[in-house]
A and B are shown apart, each in its own frame.
Chain A
Amino acid sequence: GESVGLHLPTLSVQEGDNSIINCAYSNSASDYFIWYKQESGKGPQFIIDIRSNMDKRQGQRVTVLLNKTVKHLSLQIAATQPGDSAVYFCADAGIDRGSTLGRLYFGRGTQLTVWP
């Protein structure tokens, strides 16, 4: 079953504002997480990943924060643009620590809408 979930199914922000999308996971043995962006009718697009030995990782306009104490991660998008409108998924990898299985577990996603 699912090991990750999202706090809010929808998020609306004004163009230029910062967006924060949250995700909770239940398995304390999870050691790898990926954020994906999925536009309507397309496959999920890799945004950024983070391993459990890190608390923060930054990419271009995006930052992922991982709080292992409360099993929570977030995706921050700076200066949100209309092109950022999409469904965002967090995915958890590996139920068993040390597993080499490439399986990803996805939550339901958050629909981000950016208003001009």
Chain B
Amino acid sequence: DAGVTQSPTHLIKTRGQHVTLRCSPISGHKSVSWYQQVLGQGPQFIFQYYEKEERGRGNFPDRFSARQFPNYSSELNVNALLLGDSALYLCASSFSQGPYEQYFGPGTRLTVT
């Protein structure tokens, strides 16, 4: 069975630009969460979507937004990129809205120059 997939794998953007990251959850999973992982640290929660609705948001500015589609895939959008947005962006999927058994994708490495 396919795991969580994310695209693109790597991305290089310039300050001020916009970026869209994509995630496809494990088949049958209805919850998608987004995390940011800065080098040398643990992942930090950005958003959770369940049944196409936002169910939680972490301490990130409004430049970060996301949505979930009817097939449960999800997009993370970041506007007005800053150098500090350079990180590994991870998507995790799970069957339920709760925190249980979240499986991560390989991540998208975003570099802002």
Query: Do A106 and B56 contact each other (CB < 8 Å), given the known contacts A32-B99, A32-B100, A94-B99?
Result: no
Contact status B98-A106, CB under 8 Å? no
Q: How far is the CA of A94 from the CA of B97 in the complex (A)?
A: 12
Question: Assuming A42-B106, A93-B98, A101-B98, what are 12 further A-B pairs, CB within 8 angstroms?
Answer: A32-B100, A44-B104, A46-B102, A91-B42, A100-B97, A101-B48, A101-B97, A101-B99, A102-B48, A104-B33, A104-B92, A108-B40
How many Å from the CB of B31 to the closest CB on chain A?
Answer: 6
Instruction: Give the number of chain B interface residues (Cβ < 8 Å).
Output: 32
Chain A's interface size range is: 20 to 34
Other-chain residue from A46, A49, A102, A109 in contact with B42 (beta carbon distance below 8 A): A109
Q: How far is the CA of A106 from the CA of B99 in the complex (A)?
A: 13
Query: What would be 11 A-B contacts, judged by CB atoms less than 8 Å apart?
Result: A43-B88, A43-B105, A43-B107, A49-B101, A89-B42, A93-B100, A102-B55, A103-B48, A104-B33, A109-B41, A109-B42
Q: How far is the CA of A45 from the CA of B96 in the complex (A)?
A: 19
Q: Return the CB mask of B33-65 against A: 1 if under 8 Å, else 0.
A: 101000011111100101000011010000000
Give the interface of B toward A (CB within 8 A): 4, 6, 31, 33, 35, 40-45, 48, 50, 55-56, 58, 88, 90, 92, 94, 96-107
In order of increasing CB-CB distance, the 3 nearest A-B pairs are A106-B42, A93-B99, A43-B104
Contact status B33-A102, CB under 8 Å? yes
Q: Return chain B residues, CB-CB under 8 Å to A91.
A: 42
Q: How far is the CA of A4 from the CA of B54 in the complex (A)?
A: 25
Contact status A44-B90, CB under 8 Å? yes
Q: How far is the CA of A107 from the CA of B41 in the complex (A)?
A: 8
Contact status A105-B101, CB under 8 Å? no
Other-chain residue from B33, B44, B90, B101 in contact with A43 (beta carbon distance below 8 A): B90
Q: Return chain A residues, CB-CB under 8 Å to B50.
A: 102
A13 at interface by CB-CB < 8 Å: no
Other-chain residue from B6, B43, B58, B103 in contact with A46 (beta carbon distance below 8 A): B103
Q: Return chain B residues, CB-CB under 8 Å to A45.
A: 104
